[in-house]
Structure 1
Amino acid sequence: MRKASKTVYVAMSGGVDSSVAAALLKKRGFNVVGVFMKPWQPKGTVCLWEKDREDALRVAAILEIPFLTWDFSKEYKRSVADYMIREYKTGRTPNPDVMCNKEIKFGLFFKRAMKAGADLIATGHYIRLRNGKLCQGKDKNKDQSYFLWTLKKEILGKCIFPVGEYTKPEVRKLARKFNLPNAVKKDSQGVCFIGPLDMKSFLAARIKSKMGRIIHVDGRELGTHDGVFYYTIGQRHGLDIKDGQGPHFVVSKDFKKNILYVGHEKNLLSQKAKLRDINWINSRPNLLPAVIDVKVRYRTPSKKAIMNKDGTIEFIKPERAITSGQSAVLYRGSQLLGGGIIE
């Protein structure tokens, strides 16, 4: 355990996880400063951040720790929301939570905290730090390592993840023990910081849509769609198809021709993917190609795959619905090695 005289700036979202993280650090003797990051709020959406800030402030008052509010709304829009829109415009399906962690929580927040005098930062992520290496959290159902593959080794020595050693039920039990008012608050859903979001309406207000054809992989024309960027690989619902041979899934998109290709479950399987913007958290494995564990979506089991020097991965067994724009996250057992964006 680090010396208890150090100052830790805790990213407090108003949720139970970051609140318990702050409480645990205070109990361990750290000088804790709570920070709420004001997010960008899209027009026409329900404003949740004010209530979240109030919850975080109440927790800080109970813990008797200083509380700050940092306005990152402009930076969030530029680094996360605008990025998300650009990706959808090109036909890819981005993961805004990955970009949020990279640019906001472990980018802007980290830098500003260090400048303000922090020795360390802490968040409520379910992840563990073991001998300078990031590992999956104790609670495998809540593990958030998938969203943290962009982190750099240089900042890990200044990060603490207190709740990574606990399960979610244990965290809620601790919240009750600390008499925190948000002990039973529901977990946030939706896009990082923003919360619940009707993605189709959000995109429709920002990207000009064009109706196009839905074509089966066997060549049959089955219907029309509202715009290819509304759909993602593996999607089943929202397809206006009535040929009696379903279920149908989106298997690929031709963005230039504005065609949505559909097929059956077997048509979703593939074994190869090419990655870009690859990040190795500690260091690139010395010997590539190498067999590692790969996740192509959150809360799914990792699959064995061969990682090649050129950034391609080859799954030992076919993987379902590999999606352009999503993250392929690389592991060795429970250790997070890094990841990349699927082309």
Structure 2
Amino acid sequence: MKRVVVGLSGGVDSSVAAYLLQQQGYEVIGLFMKNWHDDSVTISNDCPWLEDSNDALLVAEKLGIPFQTVDLSEEYKEKIVDYMFNEYEKGRTPNPDVLCNREIKFDVFMKIALSLGADYVATGHYCKKSEIEVNGETMYQLLAGADNNKDQSYFLCQLSQEQLSKSLFPIGELTKPEVREIAAEMELVTAEKKDSQGLCFIGKVRLPEFLQQKLQPKEGSIIQIEKDDAVYTIEEQEGLSTEKVLALASNKIAYTPEMGKIVGKHQGAHYFTIGQRKGLNVGGNKDPLFIIATNVETNTIYTGLSSQHPGLFRKGLFIEKSEVHWIRTDMTLDNGEEMEVMARIRYRQPLQAATLHQFENGMYVSFREPQSAITEGQFVAWYIEDELVGSGVIS
């Protein structure tokens, strides 16, 4: 019997994952990760991790599996929270969930599980894993989950072959309603529990309040740029190299306050992200204002009217060399090579046709259609059919 440690989060997905593994004959151990206990930044009085760990314990008791809690709050603070503050301070928008999987669940947590003699770690992610042989070597594949509506492969886009080799995703073939049905049949306490919102493991925290712990509010201007501004007319230039053309399509526009008019004030550019429309508190327009750029050096936010404003769209993005990550290491591109893929720049975005272009200093991803709100610090992930083969941080 192979031993599997399941990350029991106190939610329905991981509960059913544990049950299914038990049905398949594995020896199952439940572990709950406690990743946060700084109550000064949770904004609701209910302590989410306590309730979650109780639910996880009840599920383990119901299934008759051993259970314990591991406190990873120090590692979480160092690898996730500090990183988030640093990124926001630089005016980038990190994705804590992708990072949490790479650095915590499938690294720190996985090492604890293996030290308990586990052969595998299992989670309640909606994705699938398979393996193929390439040149006599086993390659692990990360595949989209069967439930199109819930596919979570994107959140695992930074995993390595080594991490995948020791991972199991028992609910990948199921849809969410099927998972809830199994939980109800088994009378698991989590069967009706709502999906958790908020930061991975921190619970019910509103991001601006969370960021204000470290990043002090300071007043700045909200500037509106007209959609027909001259900055959006791109003149065709002859004789440019492919790399230069891609760079022009990927570079963000350098806005200055003189280009537009001041329409309001904000309390800190680092609390805002591109594509955001809530929280600006600027009225008087029939179309909503969207953020098209932020500048944390000058503490300025640039906005445009409507979701179709040209300032929101770009056809390409760049990933620095050190940030290009291949899950399928056998598919890595050499300098000067290209690859046709389907890609997404955020979770739940429908896949978009794109071409990868590898150069000496990094990779350009050029999209067939312009993409709205390409955001620095977020991850772009690329697929071939339903297999996620690589990803990178948008620079």
TM-score relative to the length of structure 1: 0.95
Q: Which whole-Å CA distance do the structure 2 matches of 1:193 and 1:170 have between them?
A: 24
Show CA shifts across 1:315-343 (max 9, x none). 11100110111111111121011211111
Q: Which residue of 2 aligns with 1:298?
A: 347
Match of 1:202 among 210, 218, 221: 210
Matches within 5 A, 1:161-180: 161-180=169-188
Q: Which whole-Å CA distance do the structure 2 matches of 1:319 and 1:186 have between them?
A: 32
Q: Does 1:71 align with 2:71?
A: yes
Structure 1 vs Structure 2 CA RMSD? 1.4
Match of 1:183 among 186, 191, 196: 191
The secondary structure found in structure 2 opposite 1:103 is helix
Q: Shift in Å at residue 97 of structure 1? A: 0.5
Q: Which whole-Å CA distance do the structure 1 matches of 2:71 and 2:280 have between them?
A: 40
8 Å CA contact retained: 1:215, 1:259 = yes
- Count matched residues: 339
TM-score relative to the length of structure 2: 0.83
8 Å CA contact retained: 2:89, 2:296 = no
Q: Which amino acid aligns with 1:225?
A: H
Q: Does 1:41 align with 2:12?
A: no
Q: Which whole-Å CA distance do the structure 2 matches of 1:286 and 1:16 have between them?
A: 39
Q: Which amino acid aligns with 1:275?
A: I
Show CA shifts across 1:35-78 (max 9, x none). 00111133331421111111111111111111111110111111
Q: Over alpha carbons, which structure has the higher Rg?
A: 2
61-70 or 267-276, larger mean C-alpha shift: 267-276
8 Å CA contact retained: 1:222, 1:243 = no
Q: Shift in Å at residue 275 of structure 1? A: 1.6
Match of 1:13 among 5, 9, 14: 9
Show CA shifts across 1:72-99 (max 9, x none). 0111111111111111111111111111
Q: Which whole-Å CA distance do the structure 2 matches of 1:163 and 1:152 have between them?
A: 21
Q: Which whole-Å CA distance do the structure 2 matches of 1:83 and 1:285 have between them?
A: 27
Q: Which whole-Å CA distance do the structure 1 matches of 2:184 and 2:283 have between them?
A: 52
Q: Which whole-Å CA distance do the structure 2 matches of 1:100 and 1:33 have between them?
A: 21
Q: Which whole-Å CA distance do the structure 2 matches of 1:239 and 1:176 have between them?
A: 43
Show CA shifts across 1:262-314 (max 9, x none). 11322211111112312100223457311111111111101111111031111
Q: Shift in Å at residue 228 of structure 1? A: 0.4
Q: Does 1:225 align with 2:225?
A: no
8 Å CA contact retained: 1:95, 1:326 = yes
Q: Which residue of 2 aligns with 1:28?
A: 24
8 Å CA contact retained: 1:137, 1:144 = yes
Q: Which residue of 2 aligns with 1:308?
A: 357
Q: Which whole-Å CA distance do the structure 2 matches of 1:82 and 1:178 have between them?
A: 40
Structure 2 portions without partners, runs of 5+: 132-139, 227-259
Show CA shifts across 1:102-157 (max 9, x none). 11100101111112210111111101012220000011111111111110012222
Q: Shift in Å at residue 245 of structure 1? A: 5.7
8 Å CA contact retained: 2:198, 2:206 = no
Show CA shifts across 1:204-248 (max 9, x none). 121022211111224222221111011110111221323536321
Q: Does 1:280 align with 2:326?
A: yes
Q: Which whole-Å CA distance do the structure 1 matches of 2:121 and 2:153 have between them?
A: 17
175-184 or 106-115, larger mean C-alpha shift: 175-184
Q: Which whole-Å CA distance do the structure 1 matches of 2:338 and 2:51 have between them?
A: 49
User: 1:263–1:76: structure 2 CA closer, same or farther, 3 Å change rule?
Assistant: same
Match of 1:266 among 309, 330, 333: 309
The secondary structure found in structure 2 opposite 1:81 is helix
Q: Which whole-Å CA distance do the structure 2 matches of 1:41 and 1:300 have between them?
A: 32
Q: Which amino acid aligns with 1:212?
A: G
Q: Shift in Å at residue 9 of structure 1? A: 0.6
Structure 1 segments of 4 or more deviating over 6 A? Answer: none
Q: Which amino acid aligns with 2:196?
A: S
Q: Which residue of 1 aligns with 2:381?
A: 329
